[in-house]
Chains A and B, each alone.
Chain A
């Protein structure tokens, strides 16, 4: 019988929630890495028991963890005791080194700082891990300050795909309030060379050659908080989602506005429609119905909680514009939590399960595509990310 495993990253550790295919009774396992911020965990589609986790701390820095047994035990790739070396500097595992100019040895580029001056790239943390669709040893990491890294040896060594920062607009990127983070990575299942990424607050970008060259894909986005609202870059994209069943059709939750692209990001149009507010962070697409999508409207950029204190997921079955509130089982009064950009996911069972986590520590699940919800767990630390694995 099928089962599901929900990987929950929180501000104080990781939790793994498991259930059978009915998705009514849940086992909560954790915290793993208690006390550490777990920005993201994700399992390999090739080997679901291999799970990568981003473990980070303001005190102790960034660590990568990997499990090969579905989260029962963890180790830092390449940092087994037998890998010990007696002197500084250490081996390259767990290091995220930005590329430098091969001619000068100096930083490849700088980016715009809050005061308008140019600022060097400084690694802070890994926001998102995206395992390869075809190779369990290959995994991508989206980091702050914004860059994309790839490991082809299970996380032991990381190399920047520097064409992203180096394609020309890098000096104009600038951090959003949450930092300048590369938070979204989408691998195209139909085209191994095509990758989409998104950065706050630079926008969305695409490569068609496996990460060598990149181009901004922000045409049609309108952001009134930047000097040129339709600029090529500078948009605060909060998240992008794509149905694996229909590559090339993308849905975006921007700072404000829910957007849609039918041409792999070459152009976008707004599909906010009748949403009560089109500000938000999370967005995802139904596993089997590529025109069905989900968002969690948040009041505004000043008020990071649901309108009227009512936690409502909105579902569109028409690819946007026409939205219906989903409230059954969700708190409809006095609810002032947020749902962060990576904190929503779907399973691939029939009916499609939908999951999201809140900054208040609740993880909600719907086993019927959003019609009814139940809390799996109510009192975790603030949830940073949710991923779901559908297991045979």
Chain B
């Protein structure tokens, strides 16, 4: 995403599940620069732009929908079903809290 001089840039923290960290060759948490308004769509766009190997692993390729067995948590709330263009919680926008991408728990 290109930014112009009037854009407000935010550094957003994302915590990825184990397998996606390995795929992207990153640690537990990554920081991304996102232009306000900071929404789920913009954060995931920035994530996939920075780490293209993650394309298709969080959102379905064709529909852009969240994959069924993943959830998005922020500030101890489930944001999985919120509109993707809704602004994320202030603590996430200001980098005080991370956005968590969580894989559904299952055995085997």
Contact of B50 among A36, A84, A89, A90 (CB under 8 A): A84
Contact of B57 among A35, A63, A87, A97 (CB under 8 A): A63
Known: A34-B22, A58-B69, A59-B19. A76 touches B61 (CB 8 A): no
Number of interface residues of A (CB under 8 A): 26
A59 / chain B contacts, CB cutoff of 8 Å: 17, 19, 67, 69-70, 103-104
Q: Quick one: which of A4-46 are within 8 Å of B by CB?
A: 34-36
Known: A59-B70, A97-B62. A76 touches B53 (CB 8 A): yes
Contact of B1 among A63, A79, A86, A91 (CB under 8 A): A86
Query: In the complex the two chains form, is A60's CB within 8 Å of B52's CB?
Result: no
Query: In the complex the two chains form, is A87's CB within 8 Å of B45's CB?
Result: yes
Q: Is B15 an interface residue when CB atoms closer than 8 A count as contact?
A: no
Q: Is B5 an interface residue when CB atoms closer than 8 A count as contact?
A: no
Complex-state Cα separation, A317 to B25, whole angstroms: 50
Q: Is B87 an interface residue when CB atoms closer than 8 A count as contact?
A: no
Known: A35-B19, A89-B61, A97-B62. A61 touches B52 (CB 8 A): no
Query: In the complex the two chains form, is A95's CB within 8 Å of B57's CB?
Result: no
Complex-state Cα separation, A95 to B56, whole angstroms: 8
Query: In the complex the two chains form, is B52's CB within 8 Å of A79's CB?
Result: yes
Query: In the complex the two chains form, is B52's CB within 8 Å of A95's CB?
Result: no
Task: Give B59 Cβ to nearest chain A Cβ, in Å.
Answer: 8
Complex-state Cα separation, A157 to B40, whole angstroms: 28
Contact of B67 among A34, A60, A83 (CB under 8 A): A60
Q: Is A2 an interface residue when CB atoms closer than 8 A count as contact?
A: no
Interface of A toward B, CB cutoff 8 Å: 34-36, 57-63, 76, 79-81, 83-91, 94-95, 97
Task: Name 18 A/B residue pairs within 8 A (Cβ), A-sorted.
Answer: A35-B18, A36-B19, A57-B19, A58-B106, A59-B19, A60-B23, A61-B56, A61-B61, A83-B52, A84-B49, A85-B52, A86-B1, A86-B2, A86-B49, A88-B45, A89-B64, A90-B52, A95-B62
